[in-house]
């Protein structure tokens, strides 16, 4: 059995951000991929000296395909997680029905491992199981809590929508800038957007702003630089 420790938020005035992890991860991943993959695609095609129409068609196709891919990927991935959680809970439910005392001792041993003395651990395990036996084992034995449980539809929608919004930004840059400066405009504008996204995600998750911004812009610059080189090489060869 997995014995992951899950820190639950206390009641009161303290504010925690763990409840945001599920949708925040999918939203940040979707928006980041939307900006980065579409900007890289546009930079690569523009570097090959393609026409405005060709660049826009490539960008729109990338937006639609990417949004559907992200949504489907998140749904399948998180659904698999949800299936595993359900299987674990079903097993735990059967074990509670077959050996309630053994399960109480198992829960008490977990609390002993966390620092409680055996007598107190037995008392805590008994009281928690009297209140909600399956919930106590799900949280403290399996590491499953309401804040971290899998939500496939929520993850898919967050990822697909934010990918589309992110992908639209580089496309707008192509629409409003002259063809002669497409590559630097999309490159520079997308790096700024990535830095802003990284900072917003850091604020929402309570992480350091500078570290998040530098991390996302570094990988963004690397990806767009490589695709620009490929596009320029392809355009020269053709």
Q: Indicate the range of 35-49, 66-80, 136-150 predicted with least confidence.
A: 136-150
Measured CA to CA, the distance from residue 178 to residue 118 in angstroms comes to: 73
Q: Does residue 133 contact residue 100 with C-beta atoms inside 8 Å?
A: yes
The secondary structure of residue 192, as a DSSP letter, is: H
The full length of the chain comes to 238
Q: What is the pTM of this model?
A: 0.66
Q: How far is CA 137 from CA 1, 21, 114, in A?
A: 11, 22, 15
Measured CA to CA, the distance from residue 92 to residue 85 in angstroms comes to: 10
pLDDT tens for 81-132 read 888 888 888 888 888 888 888 888 888 888 888 888 888 988 888 888 888 8
Closest by CA position to 31, among listed 222, 163, 138, 194? 163
Q: How far is CA 33 from CA 72, 89, 185, 231, in A?
A: 14, 34, 18, 20
pLDDT confidence band for 8 (50 / 70 / 90):
very low
pLDDT confidence band for 25 (50 / 70 / 90):
low
pLDDT at 150: 62
Beta strands (DSSP E) in 89-229 are none
The domain limits of the chain are 19-92+151-237
Please provide the average confidence, as pLDDT, over all residues in the chain: 80
- In the block, tokens 């660049």 appear at 55
Q: What is the separation of C-alpha 174 from the centre of its chain, rounded to a whole number of angstroms?
A: 28
pLDDT tens for 190-222 read 999 888 888 877 776 677 778 878 888 898 888
């Amino acid at each position: 059995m997995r014995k992951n420790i899950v820190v639950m938020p206390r009641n009161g005035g303290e504010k925690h951000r763990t409840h945001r992890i599920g949708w925040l991860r999918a939203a940040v991943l979707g928006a980041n991929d939307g900006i980065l993959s579409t900007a890289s695609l546009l930079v690569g095609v523009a570097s090959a000296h393609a026409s405005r129409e060709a660049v826009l068609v490539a960008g729109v196709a990338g937006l639609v395909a990417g949004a559907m891919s992200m949504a489907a990927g998140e749904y399948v991935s998180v659904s698999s997680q949800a299936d595993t959680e359900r299987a674990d809970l079903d097993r735990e439910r059967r074990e509670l029905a077959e050996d309630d005392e053994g399960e109480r001792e198992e829960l008490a041993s977990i609390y002993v491992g966390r620092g409680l003395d055996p007598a107190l651990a037995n008392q805590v395990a008994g009281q928690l199981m009297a209140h909600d036996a399956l919930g106590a084992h799900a949280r403290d034995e399996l590491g499953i809590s309401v804040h971290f449980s899998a939500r496939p539809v929520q993850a898919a929608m967050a990822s697909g929508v934010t990918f589309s919004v992110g992908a639209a930004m580089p496309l707008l840059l192509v629409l409003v800038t002259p063809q002669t400066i497409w590559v630097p405009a999309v490159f520079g504008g997308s790096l700024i957007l990535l830095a802003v996204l990284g900072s917003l995600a850091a604020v929402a998750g309570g992480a350091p702003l500078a570290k998040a911004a530098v991390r996302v812009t570094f990988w963004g610059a690397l990806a767009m630089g490589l695709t620009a080189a490929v596009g320029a090489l392809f355009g020269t060869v053709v």
